[in-house]
Structure 1
């Protein structure tokens, strides 16, 4: 290939790449900005109820935790640790979504929290938003228990026993899970890179309990996003290994029914009628 041919091939490749990037960014802008804004215009501020409740809940618990007695009650209501019984951790997990980590600045994550719940509520609805946020948080909490039980080692997967005493609260796993889930179902690579990529970098730079749970939240959100819209296919896959019962074929209702046999009709003989002319002649003869 000549030099001019190589230059033309590079130009064609760059043009295709530019068109693909433009289409991707335009589609992502429409998915993450235009569609939610249109839904917000139709539904009004009621479409942001979960976002306001989540932001207010974090601010409320953060304000209560500034006092010693309030911190005690916040810990009793939403404090989750790996050294607690499993039933108690599961009972406190829904409240722990709104309890910020006491050693981290709360105001830094309020914007991300509000945007994540607002976008999810306008796109998914309230029930699915709560389900995704809870499942991703619970997946991180339960997996952390497994890692602590494994102990240090295991190729860097295990955690030391001291991690069981670390307070495991905050909405960060739910926020990361919602952003990742939405970026998967909406095919938004920029948002996916900013959320999932940042969590990977965080876990590498600071290998702590929170970083591991964020990675688990990203992984579980990816799985949920890939399963989105495949409910009927999953039901078919689950039903296929089950034995099927052979039933007798139903009668064909389209076939014409046989005509009923004709019933013999009974004819009643009519009463004999006298000949009026003959009767009249006999009467005249007798007279």
Structure 2
């Protein structure tokens, strides 16, 4: 049983994406490349005096802002690194999260999931600040903190991919450490990460119950090797049965 689970995960999150990348070339991960270049470019631009103000105006999201302003800025904030994190260390995770989702589920769905989990974290922060610390929320000063930026999208995409592909090792490696850190340090960023993971898992569970063509194709590709092996074994057994 464990061997079958690991084999399925290997096919789902390694073999199938690699084969699709070989078939499509760099265009197969165009969204991941765009996200990586955007994060690098915005980070470098943010280091200049003018750039810091421009990036702040275009992407800074806080719970004390008018809701309409946060909604306008959220799409750009997906590609802005958190100011308190090392951007270069997070680039491999950023690229891998977007690339896996793009190769397995398509460019549009990867972008929708990234935006949805980021927006959920943004709206959830407002709710938690409104609740206050006495009701398992956040203190009032958390409303002045800047949202997590690209990190919520990264952990959300990993969680979505792990649940959709039934990949427990991917979940343990890419999602559990973030969840554990968020629980250990329950600040604004940690709460937003937890919301992003929860929303991503909910979206993935819905897709599992109601798969569309691309999801079904992935499932068929992942299960093709096992079905073929089972079929071959069955045929060998038929030939070896003296009663036939």
Name the TM tier (shorter chain).
0.7 to 0.9
- Greater length-normalized contact order (CA 8 Å, ≥ 6 residues apart): 2
* Per-residue deviation, residues 173-201 of structure 1 (Å, max 9, x unmatched): 11111111111111001111223321221
Show the counterpart of 1:139: 120
Which of the numbers 85, 90, 107 marks the counterpart of 2:88? 107
Task: Please list every run of 5 or more consecutive structure 1 residues that lacks an aligned counterpart in the other structure.
Answer: 1-19, 233-287
Residues 1:193 and 2:172 are matched in the alignment: yes
User: Runs of 4 or more off by more than 6 Å in structure 1?
Assistant: none
**Highest CA radius of gyration, 1 or 2?**
1
Residues 1:93 and 2:55 are matched in the alignment: no
Which structure is higher in helix share?
2
Show the counterpart of 1:24: 5
Show the counterpart of 2:44: 63
* Matched residue count: 211
Query: Is the deviation greater in 168-177 or in 115-124?
Result: 168-177
Show the counterpart of 2:160: 181
Which of the numbers 58, 70, 79 marks the counterpart of 1:77? 58
Superposed displacement of residue 104, structure 1: 1.7
Show the counterpart of 1:33: 14
**1:1-287 to 2 correspondence within 5 Å?**
20-154=1-135, 157-231=136-210
The question of whether the paired residues in 1 share the 8 Å contact of 2:120 and 2:196 is answered with: yes
The question of whether the paired residues in 2 share the 8 Å contact of 1:117 and 1:178 is answered with: yes
Superposed displacement of residue 230, structure 1: 3.6
Distance 2:199 2:98 in 1: 18
Superposed displacement of residue 26, structure 1: 1.2
Task: Please list every run of 5 or more consecutive structure 2 residues that lacks an aligned counterpart in the other structure.
Answer: 212-244
The question of whether the paired residues in 2 share the 8 Å contact of 1:100 and 1:106 is answered with: yes
* Per-residue deviation, residues 122-181 of structure 1 (Å, max 9, x unmatched): 011111111111111111110110000111122xx2100111111114211111111111
Give the secondary-structure state (helix, strand or coil) at the position aligned to 1:84: coil
Distance 1:34 1:41 in 2: 11
* Per-residue deviation, residues 205-234 of structure 1 (Å, max 9, x unmatched): 2221111111101100111011005449xx
The question of whether the paired residues in 1 share the 8 Å contact of 2:148 and 2:192 is answered with: no
Show the counterpart of 1:273: none
The question of whether the paired residues in 2 share the 8 Å contact of 1:78 and 1:169 is answered with: no
Give the secondary-structure state (helix, strand or coil) at the position aligned to 2:175: helix
